Structure 1
């Protein structure tokens, strides 16, 4: 997203209507990539207990109604069924604090966004307390990620 200079901001005005998000030419390439994919990996640091703004903006702009979901009465129906996701994130918080007090840490993406769109999250891998761990532990985490990625194909 960064190298594409993706604009994560939702623009609503007379030209940009919410109901027309699916027709936005800037998101079409991402929609095509998602349609083509069977497995999606989300890798991000936790910022202020949630996903970074650019990822939230990507979800807001790409996973739109009539592409990723639609409503049948009151209930959302996922249009991206048959896909799986793996969420990988890092944070600066000790694990015990995350488990006892934090709400998100990747769970909003998993339980609300992806689930609503029909994408099944099969794995959620986290590295806690980045600022307080050794370089050796970081390397072990990266090796673990590489090993899981081999199986995720």
Structure 2
């Protein structure tokens, strides 16, 4: 299986970094092909602009969707964007590894989506959700949180974790055709001890060993 790991954490020695490392190690040892987009290490620019493109459809007014469609037709994406689009098209499974910040993904990851989920290449008119261009591919969120699990229950202070993740899983991943697997969530990751982190890492490696057999759970509609 071909797997793309998109990693978004600024500290390489964080628990997110340990999850990144065990993911690559485990999947590689199992014989899968793995590519990693380490966004902070890449210094990926999250800001969409004309720098997304080497082609120009309308020099007088920038509408990103129109320029994306034009770039799709004329091989006109900037090299850093084209490389990430190619990874998406290559992968059978995409895993996002990130900390939950302000009830969403870090800005660098959202900017990666803004630039890389390009109209014409990744989605299009009539090519969304079940008919999305990336249908047949699967996606999985691996997320650390600051608050504990009780805070993310339906009656908790932060609300149901499934509702918190729905804009990501439904509005980004399923929108372009991905089938969504059950998210892997590590609550209060910065507050637990090393023994608990090791237990989590081992459990994650075990899950990855059977990831090909998992059934998508879906994000649920709004």
- Same-fold call, TM cutoff 0.5: yes
Q: How far is the alpha carbon of 1:15 from its aligned partner?
A: 8.1
- Specify the SS of the correspondent of 2:141: strand
CA distance in 2, matches of 1:124, 1:21: 30
Q: How far is the alpha carbon of 1:16 from its aligned partner?
A: 5.5
Match of 1:125 in 2: 184
Q: How far is the alpha carbon of 1:106 from its aligned partner?
A: 3.3
Q: How far is the alpha carbon of 1:72 from its aligned partner?
A: 3.0
TM-score under structure 1 length normalisation: 0.87
Superposed counterparts of 1:4-153, under 5 Å:
4-11=42-49, 14=60, 17-18=63-64, 19-21=66-68, 23=71, 24-25=77-78, 26-72=80-126, 77-100=131-154, 101-102=158-159, 105-152=164-211
Deviation per CA, 1:54-95: give whole Å up to 9, x if none. Answer: 11011111112112211239x764111110011100011111
Flag the structure with higher strand content. Answer: 1
Task: Kindly report the root-mean-square deviation, in angstroms, between the aligned alpha carbons of the 2 structures.
Answer: 2.3
Please list every run of 5 or more consecutive structure 2 residues that lacks an aligned counterpart in the other structure. Answer: 1-38, 51-58, 72-76, 213-222
- Specify the SS of the correspondent of 1:131: coil
Larger mean Cα displacement after TM superposition, 54-63 or 23-32: 23-32
Structure whose CA Rg is larger = 2
User: What is the total number of aligned residue pairs between the two structures?
Assistant: 152
- Specify the SS of the correspondent of 2:42: coil
CA contact (8 A) 2:98 2:105 kept: yes
Q: How far is the alpha carbon of 1:108 from its aligned partner?
A: 1.9
CA distance in 2, matches of 1:106, 1:4: 25
Please list every run of 5 or more consecutive structure 1 residues that lacks an aligned counterpart in the other structure. Answer: none
Q: How far is the alpha carbon of 1:10 from its aligned partner?
A: 1.4
TM-score under structure 2 length normalisation: 0.62
